Amino acid sequence: MTRFQNNDSDVVVVIGSGAGGGTLANELCQAGVRVVCLEAGPHLTGPDYHNDEWPAFQQMAWTDMRTTSGSWRVATDFPNLPAWTVKAVGGTSTHWAGACPRFKDYEFTAQSSYSAVEGASLLDWPITLADLAPYYDNAEIRMGVTHRHGRPPLPANNNYKVLANGAAKVGYKQYATGPYATNATPYDGRPASNQDGFNFQGDKTGAKWSTLVAELPKAGKTGNLDLRPGCHVAQITHDAKGKVDGVLYFEGEVLHRQAARVVCVAANAIESARLLLLSGSPRFPDGLANSSGEVGKNYMRHLTASSYARFEHPVHMYRGETMAGIVADETGLDVARGFVGGYNMETLSLGPAFLAAFADPGAWGPAFTEIMDGYENTAGLWIVGEDMPQSTNRVTLNGDAKDQHGLPVPNVHFDDHPNDVAMRSYAWQHAAELYRAVGAVGVTDTPPYPSTHNMGTCRMSADPTQGVVDRFGRAHDVPNLFVSDGSVFTTGAAANPTLTIVALAVRQAEHIVGQLKAGAL
């Protein structure tokens, strides 16, 4: 295993090994750049995973202390678990379901396309779909996305068949078993899916793309990757000129320092914002790269809600891939529906344990037992829609609560925007109509649970006073500091974020390599 010296000031330090950090690390390594990738969690692999929901959750999830505030139900139902992310090598790419829709053109220009939305801090991205299109192609090819570039579709399981038949009955046209980054046939050294029904618990076979099974092993073969699991970064340091020069990190209880030529933060939108705030100094009194005051603000989590429908006969939604079906007809911009933005409906299956926890948190009695008794006859879908950025939705440091290292924990504050409420109500109604069109005898509207799509806390902006990073993810205030995850999203769109995170990471790596060769970094 490659190991670079802690005092080696010529390395690029990547903080986090998920979709952004793992992809970025591989791209840099392939270009001959030496990378130290610091991952807070352990190095779990397929044989380590539990195909059992609660043991898997305890094994993989980021369960370090966090706090919540705001009117969202998560603050009541899961006050110390605002997000369902992974603390392990590969990050949340080992937990994601694999959905890979692209942003639509209008979603890069939300401020211009939506006009004024009261209470929303909308901003146009400093890049366009045309800018990102070749990197979307790159990402889809490397991930083996189905329905794209000649890759075959996943087979239709019963959960999808119910969804597709209902979609056809109500007049939808844009439905399919993909695009998903899970192999229908072997690809890039990864096997075909065995349809085992476990996606959120870690994919034991490696059929689903993740940086754990795809990007990081390739980076390791170059000899340019020093991957360090169990290393929790506490602070980014800088020199007298304000350029970053290293990071302080805990390995167990021991504090180390790794020097750096460039630092790239890819710790997920909650932890990335927290780390910049923890890295304040006399030069950066409000947090590193935070002269705009925007670090931590504009936190987005997508609309997220679910619908579970019960039928007279078995569906067995848990057989086959957890997600392998999308209805995209509602992703267009149509203000006649009573809201701006759009949403996807995607097949979703939870096991009995998680359905009991998330279908209606805290519920009991006949209505709850009806949900559980009908489990085998249940079909499910997840609603993924664009939520409005709001400056008051933000990640801050909670000085009254400390983590295991004695550091202030992040507090995640969130309130639904009226546009979010209108979209969710509309989406629930239309999901119920879809299911009832094929004979559903009951439909349960499930409220949002801990966030898996975390975005926006270090957003891109053309104007340095309106955001944290530029169009390449470089901090406006610090020339050799980059943010490389969903934190940089200016707005959230209706698309699941992973494909876009990977595309942006490939584009950012290309930019960093060019800057290094030019001597600009």
Residue 366, judged by CB atoms within 10 A of its CB (0-12, 13-18, 19+), counts as: exposed
User: Residue 351: left (phi > 0), alpha (psi -120 to 50), or beta?
Assistant: beta
Tell me the C-alpha distance between 230 and 208, whole Å.
Answer: 24
First to last CA, the chain: 27
Residues in Cβ contact with 187 at an 8 Å cutoff, skipping those fewer than 6 apart = 144, 151
Tell me the C-alpha distance between 144 and 146, whole Å.
Answer: 6
Query: pLDDT band for position 367 (50/70/90)?
Result: confident
Tell me the C-alpha distance between 184 and 144, whole Å.
Answer: 9
Map residue 31 onto helix, strand or coil.
coil
Q: What is the mean pLDDT of the chain?
A: 96
* pLDDT single digits (tens) 438-491: 999 999 999 998 999 999 999 999 999 999 999 999 999 999 999 999 999 999
Tell me the C-alpha distance between 364 and 298, whole Å.
Answer: 35
Asked, as a colleague might, if the bond just before 101 is cis with ω within 30 of 0, I would say: no
Residue 445's CB is within 10 A of a number of other CB atoms, namely 18
Q: Pairing relation of β-strands 481-483 and 262-265?
A: parallel
Nearest to 144 by CA among 183, 176, 178, 94: 183
Identity of the residue numbered 254: V
Complete domains list, the chain, with CATH: 1-96+101-145+210-291+457-521 (3.50.50.60), 150-204+304-385+416-447 (3.30.410)
Q: Pairing relation of β-strands 326-327 and 343-347?
A: antiparallel
Q: Which two tokens stand for residue 435?
A: 């299911």
Q: Is residue 362 over pLDDT 90?
A: no
Per DSSP, helices labelled H in 213-302 are: 216-221, 268-278
Average pLDDT over residues 272-281: 98
Q: Pairing relation of β-strands 442-446 and 305-310?
A: antiparallel
Q: CA neighbours within 13 Å on the CB side: how many for 85? A: 29
Residue 69 Cα distances to 275, 301, 389, angstroms: 20, 14, 17
* pLDDT single digits (tens) 1-60: 799 999 999 999 999 999 999 999 999 999 999 999 999 999 999 999 998 889 999 999
pLDDT given at position 51 = 87
